[in-house]
Structure 1
Amino acid sequence: MQTTHDVYRPGKDDSAVMRLRTAVWGADHPHTNPAFFEWLFQRNPAGAGSGAVIRQDDDVVAFAGLSARKLLVGGKTFRVAHGLDLMVDPGLSGLLSGRYGFKVSDNWAGYARDAGFAFGVNFPNSNSFRLLTSGRLKWTVMLKPRLRVQPLRGFAIRPAVLGRVPLWLLNLLTGTLALGLRAPQIIHGKPAGRVVAVTRAEEQLDDLWQSAAHHTKTCFVRDRAYIRWRYLEHPVYRYDLFGLKVDDRLAGLIVTTTREVFGLKSMLIVDALADRDEPAILSALVAHATAKARAAGIEMGCAQACTGDLLDRALAKSGFLVVPERLNPKLFFMVGLPFTPDAASILASPGWHFTWGDMDVV
């Protein structure tokens, strides 16, 4: 049996990688989909994707995908390699599986460096976190965004649903009621303007991004091309985009989607931009989105944000409660790996604007 280590070739290697993905995640997983792979690795406006594969004869037995990103840090833009879909054939022995997992991850970093990327980011699951952050691969934890939630139907939830509410959420609700529902739910300084549905990648999205970039220290680039690709052209998921228009200027944007979270039908706020560092703009959009979700029977609103970020402050003003880390059954981490000397400072970059949409899986 011949073992080879290669660079992943989007399109040409997809059928072999898809067979591995079926073995790992199942044929019914929404990402086990040729259209998703084409969208992710070939249509990304930041550049074509790549990655690393290990083959045994003609079978791909390990894979680590690479999606191109652009990262703004202190006014400077870096080319970033987003690592995703790390997979090893579940039929391999434990020892061989660990060896291939390490090798394909190490190869991935080498390919990313050779391709001219300045930095790598990854959102590891519980299986890959220990591998990536080991002393051999040397990925470093950069962000640990916190989960904020807002029950949208209170304790009027029908009994069948209440029985599915996880313990952490019941504890959170009980604690909130014990405090007299003192969570901040009043939007202060509501801005003038009107909320509109954004259904196409209009030029004002570039203007909004340019304004947002002036008051954002560290953020993945969210220009018009990215918004079109990431949300409006996604082949698997549907997103709702809401903008706040003030005097025909697009002053803010949020993106939502609907998923099941911890057994509850939930609205996820997956992206947000505002042209000023003022929570009222995003709070007005959050209020609009939650009202529509509540009317549609959605049971909970959810978002991930970094402490003190504009989105985090807007969520607080909109009544979204922080889930204590000890009660959160699924923490998210972002880990980083610099490839160039000038990119090492990104590990400690301040003022991150992070949203759930920065991950590939939401």
Structure 2
Amino acid sequence: MANIREYKNNDEKEIIELFNKVFNTNRKEEYWNWQFMENPAGKSVIVLAEDDSKIVGQCTLLPTVMLVRGEEVLAGQSIDTMINEDYRGKGIHKELANKSYEIGVNNNIEFRFGFPSKMALRGLLGGIGGSFVADIPLFTNYYRLDNILLNIVKIKFLAKILSIPLHGLIKFVYKEQKIKIKENYIIKEIDEFDEDFDNLWNKIKSDSPIMTKRDSKFLNWRIKNHPNIDYKTFGAYLDNELVGYIITKIEKREIRNNPNIRLGSMVDIVGINEDTVAALYFKAKEYFKSQNTDLVATWASESMQYRGLLVKLGFVKTRSTIPFVVKNLTENQDLEKFILDEKNWYIMPIESDFY
């Protein structure tokens, strides 16, 4: 029987070893320290299963400060859940999860949230509680179709020729509109998030009933200090005042059996209005195209305030979705009802640990 306990100093070496084995990857200690030890929201909940002095499982809650109905509360994101394959099916996951909830409550975490894989979703909702909030749709905009068509046509110049009318057809069918920017914004590349971002947060924090606190501390940790990803951020200024920003990244991804697709992601979008967001998107589009990006993707839930604008800009709702689940860790039934309503959330990829 595995012993369930909290993290102790120097456990990380064995945790990383288990992670790399379970997920067949090569995570480094630098990333683990950034994620679990440097988070400005506070101490992470890390619960481990140990058998014969060997770590065989883990559940975590990564603290996140959120604004809920105008008040700051602490939430915990469940990430890096794993069980050694020799110990699966023994109820260890449930024990780990329940212990993480217990410690989370002691750490003033009011609810848990996560973006589980579709395979993990059924077990999560059945065995260890939690409720399904929504499938967050993925929206995409195709910039270059020739690279994608290569998988079908196989001949590069023919794929390029065929991509031209096909791209025009997509624009016609999905009615990409021309949008004129009303204000004369100055768009700057952002290297560090300063007090301008704190001021912007104070302006937009009431735009949605539930939002992750997007202040300079969070953004510097999550974006600037990320050990593995080189994000590109653009800020929009009007009369020397920051009025919005967009965070992007580009990566190679295998899509439709083509391993060389250049995928752009809009990781976060914040603005005081649609005009600001449109101006930021056009700057991001310019950057994406300069880097030969094939397509761009982002999240847009049913209640996302700029979803209609994204459609006007040529983004198309795909069949791909991201499951979003929450679990109330308090006795407050009003809170539970509130966090279970998808319409209350402003959720973007920046919330997830896999962007």
Q: Give the alignment of 1:75-86 within 5 angstroms.
A: 75-86=70-81
Partner Cα separation in structure 2 for residue 196 and residue 161 of structure 1: 37
Could you say which residue in structure 1 is the equivalent of 2:130? 139
Matched, 1:192 2:184: yes
Q: Which among 337, 340, 343 is matched to residue 327 of structure 2?
A: 337
The aligned amino acid for 2:305 is: L
Percentage of identical aligned residues: 19
Tell me which residue corresponds to 2:7.
8
> Contact between 1:287 and 1:318, CA under 8 Å: does it hold in 2?
no
Q: Does the CA contact (< 8 Å) of 1:309 and 1:351 recur in 2?
A: no
CA distance in structure 1 between the partners assigned to 2:232 and 2:167 by the alignment: 32
Contact 1:51 1:111 in 2 (8 A): no
Deviation at 1:50, TM superposition (A): 2.0
User: For structure 2, which runs of at least 5 residues remain unmatched after alignment?
Assistant: 155-161, 256-260
The aligned residue for residue 20 of structure 2 is 22
Give 1:174 deviation, angstroms: 6.7
The match for 1:167 is none
**TM-score, scaled relative to structure 2:** 0.88
Q: Distance in 2 between matches of 1:13 and 1:190?
A: 55
1:41 is displaced (CA, Å) by 0.8
**Superposition pairs for residues 78-117 of structure 1, below 5 Å?**
78-92=73-87, 94-96=88-90, 99-117=91-109
**Aligned residue among 259, 278, 282 for 1:283:** 278
Task: Tell me, yes or no, if the aligned pair for 1:23 and 1:90 is still in contact at 8 Å.
Answer: no
Distance 1:179 1:193 in 2: 27
- Going from structure 1 to structure 2, the CA distance change for 1:210 and 1:311 (only over 3 Å counts) comes to same
Is the aligned partner of 1:214 residue 2:212? no
Q: Does 1:355 align with 2:351?
A: no
Q: State the alpha-carbon separation in 2 of the partners of residues 341 and 95 from structure 1.
A: 30
Task: Please give the alpha-carbon distance, in whole angstroms, between the structure 1 residues aligned to 2:68 and 2:58.
Answer: 30
How far did residue 27 of structure 1 move?
Answer: 4.1
Looking at structure 2, the residues matched to 197 and 218 of structure 1 have their Cα atoms a distance apart, in angstroms, of: 28
Q: Mark the CA change 1:73 to 1:268 in structure 2 (over 3 Å): closer, same or farther.
A: same
TM-score, normalization by structure 1: 0.86
Residues 280, 314 of structure 1: 8 Å contact kept: no
SS in 2 for 1:332: strand
Following superposition, the deviation at residue 210 of structure 1 comes to: 0.7
SS in 1 for 2:79: strand
**Corresponding residue number in structure 2 for 1:66:** 61
* Partner deviation per Cα, 1:165-205 (whole Å, 9 max, x = no partner): xxxxx9xx979827834423322444321211011121100
Distance 1:315 1:178, change over 3 A: closer
Kindly provide the CA deviation profile for residues 339-359 of structure 1, in whole angstroms up to 9, marking residues without a partner as x. 113332322263321111110
Q: In the TM superposition, what are the counterparts of 1:182-261 in structure 2 within 5 Å?
A: 182-261=174-253
